[in-house]
Amino acid sequence: MEEEEGEMKKLGCYGGKVRVLEWETEAGAAEETMLLWGIQQPTLSKQNGFVSHSSLQLRLDACGQSLSILQSPSSLGKPGVTGAVMWDSGVVLGKFLEHAVDLGMLVLQGKKVVELGSGCGLVGCIAALLGAQVVLTDLPDRLRLLKKNVETNLKHGVRGSAAVKELTWGNDPDKDLVESPPDYGSDVIYSEGAVVDLLDTLLQLCGSRTTVFLTGELRNDTVLECFLEAAVKDFVIGRVDQSQWHPEYCSARVVMYILVKK
């Protein structure tokens, strides 16, 4: 078993303590990814433990409601398309938000949340049910499915609100997103080619009090290493230990970080 390093402290608006990544050498990102693979051994656990890419919908209980998230499995064959189906990392993040709010570690009521790469919209829907004013964003060709899921799952018992907007990473966001920085942001990382554009968008959107929650699937250490190496230049990064996740929604194939702007 590898040994954990890094100071445990609170970061951003999250009430729990996270393991802050502090590197003394340029090899820090590589060491973090090697540590994760050593601790969690993702290849030994089941892939897609909480989702099914062959199903047309995912059912999930959250915030006292039974959510029904539509998917488009046929779209998976298109190059670069990942947002047409749910991934474990999205389920883990959504249930983490619910769990953190239940424990009093996180307050979403009345807070502005921007979700990047919303895909099927599960995380944004859960945030809205928890009281947040959510803007779910994705590429133009993903918005139809995203809007359908928002409309279907946020008819009743919604303490917050949800709006769907087009946003391509690397492009200038709408003025209303930039002029009033969000309290929270959420995101899922998935490809090395998207890292630069993602960080560019995060830097444009984040204010000094914005807390970013980010999850990723441990399927490609190069993508994670690339992201961490670039992100640490502008953000303080903390890894959220699985002991703080929803106890029924943990996965050795998923990692979660919190980022705040330096």
Q: Determine which of 78-82, 162-166, 224-228 has the lowest per-residue pLDDT on average.
A: 78-82
pLDDT for the residue 216: 86
15 pLDDT tier (thresholds 50, 70, 90): very high
Domain holding 75, by residue range, is: 8-261
Position 75 pLDDT exceeds 50: yes
Residues 6+ apart with CB under 8 A from 209: 12, 13, 181, 183
Please state the domain count of the chain: 1
Whether 55 maps to a domain, the answer reads yes
Position 1 pLDDT exceeds 60: no
pLDDT for the residue 260: 96
72 pLDDT tier (thresholds 50, 70, 90): confident
Average pLDDT over residues 217-228: 85
Q: Could you report the per-residue pLDDT of 46-58, keeping only the tens digit for each?
A: 888 999 888 889 9
CATH number, domain containing residue 120: 3.40.50.150
Whether 100 maps to a domain, the answer reads yes
Percent of the chain having pLDDT more than 90? 61
Whether 1 maps to a domain, the answer reads no
Whether 40 maps to a domain, the answer reads yes
Whether 3 maps to a domain, the answer reads no
Position 70 pLDDT exceeds 80: yes
Average pLDDT over residues 175-190: 75
pLDDT for the residue 80: 47
Give the pTM: 0.92
Average pLDDT over residues 176-181: 80
pLDDT for the residue 248: 97
Residues 6+ apart with CB under 8 A from 78: none
Whether 2 maps to a domain, the answer reads no
Whether 33 maps to a domain, the answer reads yes
